[in-house]
Chains A and B, each alone.
Chain A
Amino acid sequence: DTGVSQDPRHKITKRGQNVTFRCDPISEHNRLYWYRQTLGQGPEFLTYFQNEAQLEKSRLLSDRFSAERPKGSFSTLEIQRTEQGDSAMYLCASSVTGGSYEQYFGPGTRLTVT
């Protein structure tokens, strides 16, 4: 297991198009988190899953954003009708639950909306 992976690493799209990102967590991790990071800022929480259940969504996550984790393994984050303000690095992290668990981050998907 090489850690959390994300695909694609880079995505350039035109305003108004839909995009979908994928995250594959570390295999035994039942929690999966999505964060967004814009230039000069720290990561901001978007949503997280425990197994296949989506337990929390940030107010940052507008109706154009949807995330799924259908079998409790990989997750997808879809953005519909992209806007220039969606340009950011989208980070995925995974962890186990219980105790003082560490979140392991993926390399991120950099989205550029033109």
Chain B
Amino acid sequence: AQRVTQPEKLLSVFKGAPVELKCNYSYSGSPELFWYVQYSRQRLQLLLRHISRESIKGFTADLNKGETSFHLKKPFAQEEDSAMYYCALRDQGGKLIFGQGTELSVKP
């Protein structure tokens, strides 16, 4: 079965602390994975995708096929990073399969 799991509903850190939002997936083919972010009162938007291997707003995510994980990391959290983060898998047909989401709260 195709599934994305984000084990943490809420992650609370202090400004400047490292952040890791966990994502594990189950998929029988070659996965395409994404992180989407939703800031307060804004629409869902793409943060980064695994194939581009880029860093956006200081965030990176590495696909680990052995552990079937795609964790999102940032070395130094900022208050403006507070948002809902969703890990998503795109299947062969093109639809996205989302995890339950993790709310990141960065305290001053």
Contact = CB atoms under 8 A, between A and B. Distances in A.
Interface of A: 3-4, 31, 33, 35, 40-45, 48, 55-56, 91, 93, 95, 97, 100, 102-108
Contacts, number: 54
Given A106-B43, A107-B43, 10 more contacts: A3-B43, A4-B43, A31-B94, A33-B96, A40-B101, A42-B101, A44-B98, A56-B93, A100-B51, A105-B43
Interface of B: 4, 6, 9, 32, 43-46, 49, 51-52, 86, 88, 93-101
Instruction: Determine chain B's interface SS by DSSP, over half rule.
Output: mixed
A91 B44 contact: yes
A95 B4 CA distance: 22
Contacts of B93: 48, 55-56
A111 to B, nearest CB: 17
Contacts of B52: 100
Nearest to B6: A42
